[in-house]
């Protein structure tokens, strides 16, 4: 059940109330009895999960986002450079040490 924040416009009394979504909103203030007890707009208390980027993904305070112009350096690191061509085939241990898959075309 969600928690709703209420505030009285007459006396200023504020209270959080645990209610079902189907319950009618409260109208009478429990402190002064005036019919001016209104729901307040508050931030939602849930987090979205799944694929995609959300504001809570980087809450740990990591590095700042990389600008689009600086993305070229990251692209160069991500793409492995091909091994120099030689007359003999490279052994499988060399291929795995270079970070290539066994079925790569550079060996």
* pLDDT tens digit sequence for 19-45: 999 999 999 999 999 999 999 988 877
Residue 26: what pLDDT?
94
Distance between CA 107 and CA 102 in Å, rounded? 9
pLDDT digits (tens, 9 = 90+) for 38-87: 999 888 777 777 777 656 666 665 555 555 555 554 454 555 555 555 55
Band (pLDDT 50/70/90 cuts) for residue 16 is very high
Please say if the pLDDT value at position 96 is more than 50.
no
pTM above 0.85, yes or no: no
8 A C-beta contact, residue 9 and residue 38: yes
Find out whether 44 and 63 touch, Cβ atoms under 8 Å.
no
């Amino acid at each position: 059940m969600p928690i709703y924040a209420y505030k009285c416009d007459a006396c200023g009394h504020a209270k959080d109330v645990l209610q079902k979504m189907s319950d009618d909103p409260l109208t009478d203030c429990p402190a002064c009895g005036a019919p001016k007890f209104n729901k307040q707009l508050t931030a939602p208390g849930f987090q979205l999960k799944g694929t995609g980027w959300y504001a809570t993904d980087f809450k740990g305070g990591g590095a700042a986002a990389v600008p689009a112009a600086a993305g070229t350096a990251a692209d160069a690191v991500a793409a492995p450079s091909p091994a120099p061509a030689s007359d003999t085939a490279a052994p499988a241990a060399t291929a795995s040490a270079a970070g290539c898959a066994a079925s790569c075309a550079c060996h």
